[in-house]
Amino acid sequence: MTIKVGLASDHRGVHIKARLLQTLQREGFDVCDEGTDTTDPVDYPDFAIRVAQQIRDGKLDRGVLICGTGIGMAIVANKFHGVRAASCYDEVIVEMSRRHNDVNVLCLPGDLIGERPVDELVLMWLRTEFESGRHSQRVDKITAIDSSDTPDINRGV
């Protein structure tokens, strides 16, 4: 099964996004480019929304969002039901975000990633499976919070 991946960035991640688009297509992923394509200043929420909505609606399996720190994109994406987004910047965090948290939207810090091999980080993330087991119970609790109006810590899941 081909993984459907949405890519989006603001102006601070446009160059990384362009490189990732080529890499992911070359590696056989079904990629949807949701912008931006310019270095002119834009608002990152406008682009995070495009990918997060498609994750929520089941049109995409995963998303990769890039802004200056990755934090703003993660905040926006996590507003959508069914989205588990995390800002990641190294191999350990990228791998654990998938293995333990079943993160479906990877948010990258365009300004902070430096010369790290970002293509390899993203490919690692896309190829890492969720471990399930004891982690499933935890992700289920997150999903329950996502589905309720007000989480009740005394109620449990």
Here the CATH number for the domain that contains residue 88 is: 3.40.1400.10
Is residue 93 a part of any domain in this protein?
yes
pLDDT reported for residue 153:
57
Is residue 153 a part of any domain in this protein?
no
Strands (E), the chain: 4-9, 30-33, 62-67, 85-87, 105-109
Is residue 147 a part of any domain in this protein?
no
Is residue 148 a part of any domain in this protein?
no
Lowest-pLDDT range, 17-21, 33-37, 91-95, 153-157?
153-157
Is residue 77 a part of any domain in this protein?
yes
Is residue 112 a part of any domain in this protein?
yes
Sort strands 30-33 and 62-67 into parallel, antiparallel or unpaired: unpaired
Is residue 64 a part of any domain in this protein?
yes
pLDDT reported for residue 156:
54
> Would you call 156 helix, strand, or coil by DSSP?
coil
Active site residues: 67, 100
Is residue 94 a part of any domain in this protein?
yes
What pTM did the predictor assign? 0.91
Confidence class for position 147, pLDDT limits 50, 70, 90:
confident
* Count of structural domains, the chain: 1
